[in-house]
Structure 1
Amino acid sequence: MSFPGQAVQRAWHLVDASNQTVGRLAGQVAQILRGKHKPTFQPNKDMGDYVVVINAEKVHFSGKKWNQKLYRWHTGYPGGLKERPAKDMLERKPEEVLKKAILGMLKRNNLRHQSIEPRLRIYAGPSHPHTAQLPLDSTIAIPSPPRARSGDFHFGLASYNSQNTVGMDPSKIPLQTKKA
């Protein structure tokens, strides 16, 4: 399945990482970098888009990963194994936490090293130098966090329309009436 005569058109995506879980965000950004969201995707071709991630310092981990997750590297000298917990890594290099998660979800091959990695731009704060490349109505490609985290979680039933009704006696919950 080839598409002769069509050049790869690369779009720019702006992703706000504030209030996002690292693994969920990394999985979706990795898909965009590879180009799997396009109908013309080919696994052996470089089809992906550019991704600019802002607010990398405001990401979240689930569970106890802030203290238990360790980032390890070796200096190359005997006894040179270094490690740092995720909490310290976020304070020192907030971009590296997200970069390691995103690149860890991609295959380690020449396509990744030469083509995909340079298209990922991560910034700790909200400012970035890529406003000229992004479209005027740059929409965020990543969906918002789950509703349980944002506070408007319900079970999909009409009677459970707010946090106050969860755990109450079902007979005391007022039913909504339809207005014709």
Structure 2
Amino acid sequence: MGLADVARLLAERKLPPVDKWNPTHCGPSDMRIARDGTWFHTGTPIGRPALVKLFSTILRREPDGSFVLVTPVEKLDIEVEDAPFVAVELTSEGEGTSRRLGFRLNTDDYVIAGPGNILRVETAPDGTPRPYIHVRAGLEALINRAVFYEMVELALNEGASPPGLWSEGCFFAFAPAPL
């Protein structure tokens, strides 16, 4: 699938209006999203990808930085160890300033890096880079190591200084900021 197809699918996608729902807080959900993107309920991995995908559509980031699962009638806390999504595949079209970078997430959703979906790189306490891409409404995806190495190889081949890549008219430098 090309990035034009991905952009069309993104434009057609209708997510629940979680930003408009303000139910009473109901407490914890007993759910957790691990650093690797695995969703757990009461300590057990959720094995049905369709269920994870459904829950991901009602995930919201609160103004205080916490995460909740929200419906029109309830709001439940969910623990997120790092980012709620993981970018597991990269599609790159074009070169230099004409490049477009598309990412497939662990939920089989897609996002295209650009002005509304910023790429950023932080440095973890152990000194390793931690790359992220904005997905929607304050939700991010951690870019997995294999995808990040693919991005670094593209950047090094283009010779940009500082190393980084263009997508949708924006340049994203890979110089990490401390966590």
TM class by shorter chain equals under 0.3
TM-score, L = length of structure 2: 0.26
Q: Which has the higher contact order (CA 8 A, sep 6+)?
A: 1
Greater fraction of residues in helix: 1
TM-score of the superposed pair, with normalisation by structure 1: 0.26
Q: Which has the higher strand share?
A: 2
Please tell me whether Structure 1 or Structure 2 has the larger radius of gyration of its CA atoms: 1
